[in-house]
Amino acid sequence: MVTSASSNIAENESLEEQRQQVLELARRLDRLGRRAEMFLSRQFQQLEEELEEFEREKSAWRRQQQREMAQLERQRTELAGMANGRQPVKAVTTDVARRSVERRSSSAGISRERASERRILEQTARDSGVDPIRLLMQPGTAGPAMIASLLLEFSRLNRLIGGGGIRFELAESRLPPRRMFARKDSGVIVQLDGFSRMPLTESDAGGTFDVDTDEHLENWLTFKTQILQSALKDIQLVAASREAQPAPRHPQSRSLILESILRASDLELKDTDQNSRRPDPLRVNRRIDVVRQQVERLEISAESLSGSSGFRLHVSLQ
């Protein structure tokens, strides 16, 4: 009887131990299931955001394509007229005719003023030398992919002028002061410095004699002149940045901008590789101002970001 009782007790203890093990395994599976559910929900949310961003970019690029196609058609018409020995043919539409009259009636003083402003901007760019460009950003709700696509447009403009792209670095983060009775914070302001990937001085060239630093520097100055003449200006953002307090360890802004820079570098490598494999059809007609078109594309990208996520940008020199 004693042996039978002890064996029953041992069997019960063994069953209880197995039950506890099964319960523990069930708890682990439950925790694993919840983590997997959270991970999948985050992935689906990120996928939705990227799809929305893709649709916004597609609509912006479609508008830009329509503008470029209209410009190409006008230039083909002008070239056809010049080839036939006539003056460039103008599109006979009320809107174009009105603009032509307005251009003819504009005073010569305005043209001289614009030329003077251009000379001042060119001199400002030359005085800056090899210094980087400065980008003040207030990201708003823009994600890393959206910011990376904008940074890529800067590199594309630089490559069109003759450079090798732009290398971006996070300089600092600043937090604007909270306004009394404000519903929400106005958002962190970050400063990015954009450097030329091409060597601009003899020391950057590493002692190699096949690098023409003078040509690279001239291309860099031309790039900065184009940037200064663009509409990428926000004086209110500059004033807000001056009032803001430095926040060098602001984690959200650092992770956002650093990820954006990494994504922009990856996109630039793919973009450079694709452009090297296919010929540029715009090289056939040298009358097409591809640099100006890229500046407009850059402005449209910034404007699209501003409308969709409250993104703000101001580009200047150091």
Q: Which long-range contacts (CB under 8 A, 24 or more apart) does 285-290 make?
A: 285/75, 285/79, 287/75, 287/79, 288/71, 288/72, 288/75, 290/160
More confident residue, 289 or 162: 162
**Residues near 308 by Cβ (< 8 Å), separated by ≥ 6?**
56, 142, 146
pLDDT of 284: 37
Residue percentage of the chain with pLDDT more than 70: 78
Q: How high is the mean pLDDT of the chain?
A: 79
For residue 302, is pLDDT > 70?
A: yes
State residue 209's pLDDT score.
53
Domain-embedded: residue 158: yes
Per-residue pLDDT for 87 more than 70? no
Residue 172 has pLDDT above 70, yes or no: yes
Residue 250 lies in a domain: yes
Task: Compute the average pLDDT of residues 261-271.
Answer: 89
Asked if residue 92 belongs to a domain, the reply is: no
> pLDDT grade, residue 54 (50/70/90)?
confident
Give whichever of 40-54, 68-82, 225-239 has the largest mean pLDDT: 225-239
pLDDT, tens digit, for every residue of 95-117? Answer: 544 554 455 555 455 567 777 78
Mean pLDDT (whole number) for 234-240: 91
pLDDT of 287 strictly over 50 = no
User: Is 160 domain-assigned?
Assistant: yes
- The Cα 57–Cα 304 span in angstroms is 8
Tell me the average pLDDT across 54-75: 75
Would you say residue 106 lies in a domain?
no
Tell me whether residue 298 is in a domain: yes
Closest to 102 (Cα-Cα) out of 110, 70, 174 = 110
Asked whether residue 281 is assigned to any structural domain, the reply reads yes
Split into its structural domains, the chain has a count of 1
Q: Is 280's pLDDT higher than 60?
A: no
Query: Which pLDDT value is given to residue 116?
Result: 78
pLDDT over 80 (residue 122)? yes
**Has residue 153 got a pLDDT over 80?**
yes
Using H for helix, E for strand and C for coil, what is the string for 181-197? CCCCCCCCEEEEEEEEC
Which domain covers residue 202, as residue numbers?
133-317
pLDDT of 92: 38
Range of 1-15, 71-85, 275-289, 290-304 with top mean pLDDT? 290-304
Are 191 and 314 in contact by the 8 Å Cβ rule? The answer is: no
Please give the structure tokens belonging to residue 295.
């500046």
- The answer as to whether 211 is a domain residue is yes
* Span of 137-146, 171-180, 272-281, 307-316 with lowest mean pLDDT: 272-281
